[in-house]
Structures are given as structure tokens and as C-alpha cells.
Amino acid sequence: MGCDRNCGLIAGAVIGAVLAVFGGILMPVGDMLIEKTIKKQVVLEEGTIAFQNWVKTGTEVYRQFWIFDVQNPEEVVANSSKIKVKQRGPYTYRVRYLAKDNITHDSESHTVSFVQPNGAIFEPSLSVGTENDTLTVLNLAVAAAPHLYPNAFVQVVLNSLIKKSKSAMFQRRTVKEFLWGYTDPFLSLVPYPISTTVGVFYPYNNTADGVYTVFTGKDNISQVAIIDTYKGKRNLSYWPSYCDMINGTDAASFPPFVEKTRVLRFFSSDICRSIYAVFGAEVNLKGIPVYRFVLPPMAFASPVQNPDNHCFCTEKVISKNCTSYGVLDIGKCKEGKPVYISLPHFLHASPDIGEPIEGLSPNEDEHSTYLDVEPITGFTLRFAKRLQVNILVKPARKIDALKNLKRNYIVPVLWLNETGTIGDKKAEMFRKQVTGKINLLGLVEIILLSVGVVMFVAFMISYCACRSKRVK
């Protein structure tokens, strides 16, 4: 009887040990299976989850605009006063609803090329007014004239055309005109062939962004979705250095198994440059654990603070010998127009940038850019891209509309918030296919390991106790 009992206790201990060992073995094996499955599904090729969502996003993406309505135009023109602005918005459009086009695979280089068609559909229910709302805004053609034509004689000619067309430094335009284009009366009088249509985002509809070439990750998963710098580089001969080359992905996804220490690099055609984000916090998004990566202030720092930004300091006067920070001159990829990009309301900009402007209230929560990335797959499940478009306006003695200005203005014309969040159905599907399976496997591993250890310890204690009694 005693022998039977001892045998039973030993058998129980052995079973517990086996369970514990099996649980321990299952953990690395399970991790290997998860890694293998993820690596297969994030490759950009026909039949994978990543390719399906890459070709056409299943998330509704909206771009909200807040336009700065100038409150004192006459005062500014006459006395070079501070520009008083009041933001009007949001005016919301649905964007990125068109699938990528001209998709071409290269099996030798493991890359895929494409263009991204552009389109914008106005969403009245998500807007404060209609596209026909009229605002007082900067006259884009008049403001750019002295930059594009610095010759004094040419400016005299342009001045006569500006006066003849009754144009001024500021104008009244509808939201639709200002964003997407209008026929400018001043440019219409220019006696040689030029484009007479002006708009902050003109042309946009029925255009395409690209061509881009990205790695599929077929041969190297750490390169998946990363833009091929040489094939993907735009036809911009002035891009000679690292800081103004195309680096990273398009921010829709990143190579899988993202760690908090990783710097996520991505390219944005809106600002004509690659930029980066760093880990900010852990966030729960519809039951899915994600890492929030944020755009750091150093991304818009001066070359003195961040040498990587040296290529965006193109002159010494406006930038105060490259010491001003918070704005980037992207004029070279905007056909020489004096366009500067910043965060909304000059968030993280040096005080001198916003000093000539009244009515701005920078706010970290409302005006910062972030990406919520699921760390195992590298998929971006939610994002908010927030940027401000500004125009540099300088005094011009030969142009009456600008001759009374006594200082340079970096005039904010609008800021945008482009957002997208994984939908409820997609989130549920993601939880079942990815998060749920990983959590279940992890739970099974822990249960087997825990039960095995408990059984082994319990039976060994009972065995020792039984042996002690027999000795007595």
C-alpha cells in the first residue's frame, strides 16, 4: 500500500515536471510560430493581410482644415501692424479613399512601385460651415510675386498689373477657392503664358503622388514598406544630403516587432521631407495594445540645435543666421514659392516666429502629431498628422500693396489635421486574428508552466512527508 502511494506521488511529480517542461518548451516554440506567421503576413505581396490594407486602406481618413481669417487687413497694409487672426474651422474632407495605382512588382529587387491618387470629398456633417464660406485671407499671388521676380524693373511691371486688377495683400475668398484653386485676376493680366490658377493645395484632385518604390520585405522583413531611396527619390536635383532625402515608410506601416527604443522614420509629401517619431506612451486602442510615437520638438529644431536640419536653412536673414526654429522652408519643392511648414499655431517654434501674429494659442494636445502603432505587426492603427502652412511676406518697395511693410512676416494661412482610426469591425478582426491568438497562446503557456510547477512541488512535499512518517 505504501509502495503504491509512493509510486503515485512520484508519478504525479513526474507529470507536473513534464507539464512545466512542456510549458517552458511551448513558450519559445509559440514565439517562433507567432514570429513566422507575422513575418509571412506583413510582406507586401498578393494574398497577405498587409498587402490588402496597403493597396487600399480600410480606415476612413479625414483631413480637417482650420483657416486663419485676418481681422485687420487694412491696418497691416497701411501701418505694418501685427496681423490679427482668428481660426475658422474645421472644414472637413475625406481623403485617401482611392487605391494605389500602377502597382508594379520587381521580383529581383523585392520592391513594388506605385502612385497614390489624390482626391478630396467635402463632408458637410463634419464641418462648421459650407465650402462657400468667405474669409479674409492672404493674397497668394501678390505675396509670392517679389520672391519669384526679385528684379526691380519686373516688379514695377507687376505692380501696374496688381493695381489694374485691384488686387491687394489680402483678399476675400471662399473656402473652396482658397484650398483647391481659383483664377487669379492679377495673374490673368500677365502678358506671357503662366498658370493663372492659385490655391494652397492646387492642383490636388485628379492628381497622383509618386512614383514611389518600396521594399516588399520578402527577403528582409526589416525593410518591409521602407521606401527605396534611389528608385523612390523624387525628381529633385537639389536634394543632395541625408536630411532632405526620402527615408522610412509612408507611415501606414513599419517593419514588425517594434520596440520602444526604435525611431520611426517616414516620408510626408505635404512637407517634402522625411521626418521621424519617438516613443511617447503605451495606449489601449479598442482593446488592442499600441505604442504611441510622437513627433519630437527636435524635428523642427534649428540646425544649431539639430544639425540634421541644416538643409532646411536656406538663407540667413529670415532664420536669424539659422538660429530660429519651428519652421521649415520648403520653397524649393514648391517651385520657388515662399512656403514654410510648421506645427499648428507655431507649436515648439522660437518666439520671434509668432511675434508679428496675434490670435495664436499653441497647445500640445491639439497641435502635436502622433502615430499609434501595433508593435507586433508594425501596423499604424491610428494617427493624427497636424501641420501648418505659412507664407513668407517681405516688404517690396516697387509693389504698392507691400511697400509699407516694415518687417518680414511668416503668415499662417491654415493648419490641417489628417486623422484615421481603425474601425470597430477591423479592430475586432485584428483582435481575433492577432492579439487574441497571441494572448491565448501566452495564457496556455503560463497555465501549463504554473500547473506543472504546482503539481511537482505539491507531490514532492507529499512524498517527503510520507517518507518521513515511514521512517518514524
Query: For residue range 195-254, what is the model confidence (pLDDT) as tens digits?
Result: 999 999 999 999 998 888 999 998 888 888 888 765 544 443 333 445 666 778 988 899
Lowest mean pLDDT among 11-25, 56-70, 196-210: 11-25
Helix 2-41 and helix 436-471, axial crossing angle in degrees, nearest 10 = 160
pLDDT (0 to 100) of residue 91 = 98
- Identify the bridge partners of residue 115 per DSSP, sorted by sequence position: 101, 210
pLDDT (0 to 100) of residue 18 = 47
On the question of pLDDT at 105 being above 60, the answer is yes
SS percent in the chain: helix, strand, coil, step 5:
35, 30, 35
C-alpha cell belonging to residue 249: 515608410
On the question of pLDDT at 387 being above 50, the answer is yes
C-alpha cell belonging to residue 319: 532664420
Lowest mean pLDDT among 40-49, 416-425, 429-438: 429-438
Secondary structure class of 269 (helix, strand, coil): coil
* Among the listed residues 447, 465, 443, 451, the one whose alpha carbon sits nearest the alpha carbon of residue 16: 451
pTM of the model: 0.84
Question: Which position has the grid cell 460651415?
Answer: 129
**Helix residue ranges per DSSP H, 317-423:** 351-354, 364-367
Higher pLDDT, 441 or 179: 179
pLDDT (0 to 100) of residue 459 = 47
157 dihedral zone (left: phi>0; alpha: psi -120 to 50; beta): alpha
Question: From CA 388, how far away is CA 37, in angstroms rounded?
Answer: 41
pLDDT (0 to 100) of residue 10 = 52
The mean pLDDT value for 75-79 works out to: 97
The mean pLDDT value for 429-455 works out to: 54
Confidence of residue 112 (pLDDT cuts 50, 70, 90): very high
Question: From CA 434, how far away is CA 62, in angstroms rounded?
Answer: 26
Higher pLDDT, 99 or 29: 99
Which positions ≥6 away from 211 have C-beta within 8 Å?
102, 113, 114, 115, 232
% of the chain exceeding 70 in pLDDT: 81
Lowest mean pLDDT among 122-126, 268-272, 326-330: 268-272
The mean pLDDT value for 349-368 works out to: 95
Question: Which position has the grid cell 503515485?
Answer: 8
Which positions ≥6 away from 146 have C-beta within 8 Å?
155, 394, 396, 399, 402
On the question of pLDDT at 93 being above 60, the answer is yes
Question: From CA 456, how far away is CA 375, in angstroms rounded?
Answer: 36
On the question of pLDDT at 131 being above 90, the answer is yes
On the question of pLDDT at 434 being above 80, the answer is no
On the question of pLDDT at 304 being above 90, the answer is no
The mean pLDDT value for 119-128 works out to: 97
On the question of pLDDT at 443 being above 80, the answer is no
On the question of pLDDT at 303 being above 90, the answer is no
% of the chain exceeding 90 in pLDDT: 56
Confidence of residue 358 (pLDDT cuts 50, 70, 90): very high
pLDDT (0 to 100) of residue 466 = 55
Over 359-370, what HEC string results? CCCCCHHHHCCE
Which secondary-structure segment (H or E) carries 30? helix 2-41
On the question of pLDDT at 373 being above 90, the answer is yes
pLDDT (0 to 100) of residue 335 = 85
On the question of pLDDT at 276 being above 80, the answer is yes
- Number of Cα atoms under 13 Å in the Cβ half of residue 185: 12
Secondary structure class of 308 (helix, strand, coil): helix
Confidence of residue 30 (pLDDT cuts 50, 70, 90): very low
The mean pLDDT value for 396-414 works out to: 96
pLDDT (0 to 100) of residue 441 = 45
* Among the listed residues 107, 245, 217, 200, the one whose alpha carbon sits nearest the alpha carbon of residue 389: 200
Contact call for residues 295 and 288 (beta carbons, < 8 A): no
C-alpha cell belonging to residue 295: 513627433
Question: From CA 35, how far away is CA 437, in angstroms rounded?
Answer: 12
Cα 180–Cα 184–Cα 188 angle in degrees, nearest 5: 135
Contact call for residues 294 and 387 (beta carbons, < 8 A): no
* Among the listed residues 109, 123, 119, 111, the one whose alpha carbon sits nearest the alpha carbon of residue 56: 119
Question: From CA 87, how far away is CA 208, in angstroms rounded?
Answer: 29
On the question of pLDDT at 27 being above 70, the answer is no
pLDDT (0 to 100) of residue 449 = 45
The mean pLDDT value for 413-428 works out to: 93
133-171 confidence digits (pLDDT tens) = 999 999 999 999 999 999 999 999 999 999 999 999 999
Higher pLDDT, 309 or 396: 396
Contact call for residues 167 and 141 (beta carbons, < 8 A): yes
The mean pLDDT value for 432-458 works out to: 50
pLDDT (0 to 100) of residue 56 = 87
